């Protein structure tokens, strides 16, 4: 179908030349990454069948397949991002593909997770990432510059483009009208090599926002309300597209809070239209040429609809240990606090920190509470420093930490034993904070600030005075912490410390499998359960033999020992197996230990893709009741598995001791079957030349 092309609005185009750049970004590269392309300009209007916004962008980027929910599509990726904890592997994988320079419009490597340097490991990884970025044509955001999603939104996100990131919260840039998807590092490496990204075409849900948020009710409460309604698995197989008159009152930062936490629903991504608010944000970021208006066509259709009346929402909190255990803040006043943390990629914007500062101005943090602030980016930190908000926070008793993920991923500021922590973050899985028996609650910066003063969870509507924070007309732009790729890559030496171990490769699938169940889990097992994070373990992300020693340690300290003794095995899981992060180590480390298959009631999207990428068979019970019949250490056989996969026939699992067969589905596309047969994506891509 032909698209009606319109050129970008003159106002924006004119201003490009006048941008004052303190940045290290070369002018040519800067304009390439910040301008919307002619193709994306064409997205503004479609002729023929009206399209929703997701369909419009995907159609523009479609390489193969049809935009029919459930079918496999391949899309062109314009931008990629990596962070350090997943990035070291991603760049090793990119190297293994043998491509000299990235083939995307823009690729950025961030360092924001492993910033604590208690030994040489993280510092070595940073140096590896910096040198390989320079060599391979990737921009490098130095440690201290901020959390990848916040910085990307500020400096790089472009409406209408596609972004693939090796972090599950990549959909943050959906707040800017991008199709931004989280994936495993290997998928991102392939995208950097110019390959399309393969995914199952999701259904599109129209989330209609009506009216305006009332006083003290925030974007965080919008997404918590959606989590309350849909649960942590309610978004699997969906993209959430926001529309309605309520959209226009939300700033880009607020939209990004909502799209960020769409990851907790299991959604493929979430997206807002690009409108005057987006234009204002891009102007304030001195990137006006990146803007273009984007919206769904009138009368387009969706696969589902959800209505949220913003006027009816109230301040909400997610209780331990799941982001969907949502209750009104007013019902939790009895919860006494040891810690309050404001930060993370969900809520660490200029607005978030400024509103907290305004609440805390002239007050003191409760003596039983430790208040921690982690600004999302250097830009946010500089802006609150200039506005005086930083001084208000410090005078109130806040402890300022680096612009990084920090406590969100268990890197520092673990709560005390049995402690209660209230955080503006997106995940409160058990043990993720670094304290196994801590209780973590999730909330908005408004709830966090008012509770830090009260010493218990408090509803900010108890505050009499209303506070309005004005977004700056112009942010402080200083890109000196973003290093452009080398002009002469041949001269760059990639420096590898001893923490960086060679890349592991999977083995081709054998003719048959006979394996013991090594672990039987319940529903909603997270990748934090499979491959825990925290400062100690995260430092081993580029050392697979070492990190593999920690697989499932929090659920079963003897897991690794048992798997090693058995020489491999399989895992039986419940619903939504592998929810949460994109960390491919949750597939790669089990592969390294010899795990060959996971049989579950259902899978989370990214983890399932990672299992396939590392040659582990993700199987689903045809009859979920069979789950109950499998003993925790049963011996299972998959006869003729290779042949059956190749011929597209039904797979059967034999319970050896019970002499019963279970039918299982694999739902693999022909391409995914080939990947599994080859023993993983890297083997497959190499075999394809
Ligand atoms: C997370 O929030 O769990 C992480 C750490 O950002 C992960 C990525 C990782 O494990 O490195 C994610 O969400 O993808
Ligand atoms: Fe970092 Fe936390 Fe965001 Fe993950 S969720 S990217 S750890 S801030």
The residue nearest atom 4 of ligand 1, judged by CA position, is 581
Closest atom of ligand 2 relative to the 581 alpha carbon = 4
DSSP conformation letters of 398-443: PEE--SS-GGGGTSS-PPPTT-EEEESSS---TTTTS-TT-EEEE-
> How many percent of the chain have pLDDT more than 70?
93
Confidence of residue 466 (pLDDT cuts 50, 70, 90): confident
Ligand nearest, relative to CA of residue 589: 1
Q: Decide which of 31 and 158 is more confident.
A: 158
Give the pLDDT of residue 45: 58
| Predicted local distance difference test score (pLDDT) of residue 19 | 29
Tell me the pLDDT tens digit for each residue of 89-131: 999 999 999 999 999 999 999 999 999 999 999 999 999 999 9
- Per-residue pLDDT reduced to its tens digit, 130-139: 999 999 999 9
Q: Is the CB of 583 under 6 A from ligand 2?
A: no
Residue 166 Cα: closest atom of ligand 1: 14
pLDDT in tens, 414-429: 999 999 999 999 999 9
pLDDT tens for residues 338-376?
A: 999 999 999 999 999 999 999 999 999 999 999 999 999
CA distance 451 to 458: 5
* pLDDT exceeds cutoff 70 at 229: yes
Segments of the chain assigned to CATH 3.20.19.10: 513-687
Selected from 3.30.499.10, 1.20.1260.120, 3.40.50.2300, 3.20.20.10, the CATH number assigned to the domain covering 316-462 reads 3.30.499.10
CA atoms of 183 and 240, how far apart (whole Å)? 17
Q: Looking at residue 233, what is its pLDDT?
A: 96
Choose one of 143, 146, 147 to mutate for the ligand 2 pocket test, by most ligand atoms within 8 angstroms of C-beta.
147
| 427 Cα–ligand 2 center, Å | 9
User: Which pLDDT does position 17 carry in this prediction?
Assistant: 27
Up-side HSE of residue 111: CA atoms within 13 Å toward CB? 29
Please indicate whether residue 426, judged by its CB atom, sits closer than 6 Å to ligand 2. Answer: yes
635-683 pLDDT per residue, tens: 999 999 999 999 999 999 999 999 999 999 999 999 999 999 999 999 9
Whose C-alpha lies nearest to ligand 1, atom 13? 581
pLDDT band at 15 (very low <50, low <70, confident <90, very high): very low
Q: How far is the CA of 170 from the centre of ligand 2 (A)?
A: 10
Kindly identify the ligand whose nearest atom is closest to the C-alpha of 182. Answer: 1
Confidence band for 504, pLDDT divided at 50, 70 and 90: confident
Catalytic positions are: 112-113, 167, 427, 581, 583
Considering the domain delimited by 513-687, tell me its CATH architecture. Answer: Alpha-Beta Barrel (3.20)
- pLDDT band of residue 1 (cuts 50, 70, 90) is very low
CA distance 539 to 547: 9
Choice between 47 and 209, residue whose per-residue pLDDT is larger: 209
How far is residue 54 from each of residues 145, 202, 311, 345, 419, measured CA to CA in Å? 31, 10, 27, 23, 43
Buried b (16+ CB within 10 A) or exposed e, 97-112: bebeebebbbbbbbbb
Cα distances (angstroms) measured from residue 390 to each of 187, 446, 455: 39, 16, 21
**Closest Cα partner for 242 from 218, 269, 217?**
269
Above 80 in pLDDT, residue 12? no
Name the residue at shortest CA distance from atom 3 of ligand 2. Answer: 345
Question: In this structure, which ligand is nearest to the CA of 85?
Answer: 1
Our answer on whether the CB atom of 147 is closer than 6 Å to any ligand 2 atom is: yes
Residue intervals in the chain for CATH 3.30.499.10:
316-462
- Residue with more model confidence, 515 or 37: 515
* Across 195-205, average pLDDT: 98
Q: What is the DSSP string of 543-595?
A: -HHHHGGGTTTTT-TTHHHHHHHHT-EEEE--TTBTBS---THHHHHHHHHTE
């Amino acid at each position: 179908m032909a698209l009606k092309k319109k050129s970008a609005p003159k106002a924006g185009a004119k201003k490009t030349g006048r941008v004052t750049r303190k940045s290290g970004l070369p002018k040519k590269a800067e304009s390439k990454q910040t301008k919307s392309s002619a193709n994306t300009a064409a997205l503004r209007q479609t002729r023929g069948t009206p399209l929703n916004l997701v369909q419009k962008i995907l159609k523009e980027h479609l390489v193969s397949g049809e935009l029919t929910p459930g079918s496999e599509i391949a899309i062109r990726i314009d931008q990629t991002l990596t962070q350090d904890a997943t990035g070291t592997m991603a760049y090793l994988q990119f190297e293994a593909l043998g491509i000299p320079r990235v083939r995307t419009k823009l690729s950025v490597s961030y360092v924001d997770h492993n910033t604590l340097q208690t030994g040489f490991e993280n510092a070595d990884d940073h140096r590896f990432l910096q040198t390989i970025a320079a060599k391979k044509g990737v921009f490098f955001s130095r440690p201290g510059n901020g959390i990848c999603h916040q910085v990307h939104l500020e400096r790089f996100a472009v409406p209408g483009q596609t972004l693939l990131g090796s972090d599950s919260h990549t959909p943050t840039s959906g707040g800017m009208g991008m199709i931004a998807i989280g994936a495993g590092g290997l998928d991102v490496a392939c995208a950097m090599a110019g390959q399309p990204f393969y995914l199952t075409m999701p259904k599109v849900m129209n989330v209609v926002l009506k009216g305006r948020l009332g006083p003290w009710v925030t974007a965080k409460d919008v997404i918590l309300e959606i989590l309350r309604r849909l649960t942590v698995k309610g978004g699997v197989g969906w993209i959430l597209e926001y529309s309605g008159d309520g959209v226009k009152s939300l700033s880009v930062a607020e939209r990004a809070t909502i799209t960020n936490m769409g990851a907790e629903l299991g959604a493929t991504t979430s997206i807002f239209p690009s409108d005057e608010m987006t234009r204002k944000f891009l102007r304030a970021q001195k990137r006006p040429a990146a803007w273009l208006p984007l919206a769904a066509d009138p009368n387009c259709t969706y696969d589902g609809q959800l209505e949220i009346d913003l006027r009816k929402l109230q301040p909400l909190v997610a209780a331990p240990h799941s982001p969907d255990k949502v209750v009104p803040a007013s019902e939790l006043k009895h919860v006494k606090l040891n810690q309050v943390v404001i930060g993370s990629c969900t809520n660490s914007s200029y607005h978030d920190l400024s509103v907290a500062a305004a609440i805390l101005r002239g007050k003191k943090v409760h003596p039983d509470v430790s208040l921690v602030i982690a600004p999302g980016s250097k830009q946010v930190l500089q802006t609150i420093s200039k506005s005086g908000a930083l001084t208000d926070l410090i005078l109130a008793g806040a402890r300022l930490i680096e612009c990084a993920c920090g406590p969100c991923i268990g890197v520092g500021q673990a709560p005390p034993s049995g402690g209660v922590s209230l955080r503006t973050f997106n995940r409160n899985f058990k043990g993720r904070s670094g304290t196994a028996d801590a209780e973590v609650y999730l909330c908005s910066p408004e709830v966090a600030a008012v509770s830090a003063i009260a010493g218990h969870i408090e509803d900010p509507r108890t505050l009499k005075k209303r506070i309005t924070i004005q977004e700056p007309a112009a942010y402080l732009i200083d890109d000196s912490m973003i290093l452009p790729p080398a002009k002469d890559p041949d001269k760059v030496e990639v420096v590898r410390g001893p923490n960086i171990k060679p890349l592991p490769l999977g083995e081709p699938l054998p003719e048959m499998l006979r394996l013991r169940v090594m672990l039987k889990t319940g529903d909603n097992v997270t990748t934090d359960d499979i491959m825990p994070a925290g400062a100690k373990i995260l430092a081993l992300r580029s050392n697979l033999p070492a990190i593999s020693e920690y697989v499932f340690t929090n659920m079963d300290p003897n897991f690794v020992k048992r798997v090693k003794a058995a020489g491999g095995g399989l895992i039986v899981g419940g619903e939504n197996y592998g929810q949460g992060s994109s960390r491919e180590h949750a597939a790669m480390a089990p592969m390294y230990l010899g795990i060959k298959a996971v049989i579950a009631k259902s899978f989370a999207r990214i983890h399932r893709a990672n299992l396939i990428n590392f040659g582990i068979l993700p199987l689903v019970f045809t009859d979920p009741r069979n789950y109950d019949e499998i003993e925790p250490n049963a011996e299972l056989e998959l006869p003729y598995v290779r042949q059956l996969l190749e011929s597209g026939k039904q797979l059967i699992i034999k319970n050896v001791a019970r002499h019963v067969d279970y039918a299982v589905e694999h739902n693999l596309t022909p391409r995914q079957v080939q990947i599994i047969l080859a023993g993983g994506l890297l083997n497959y891509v190499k075999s394809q030349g």
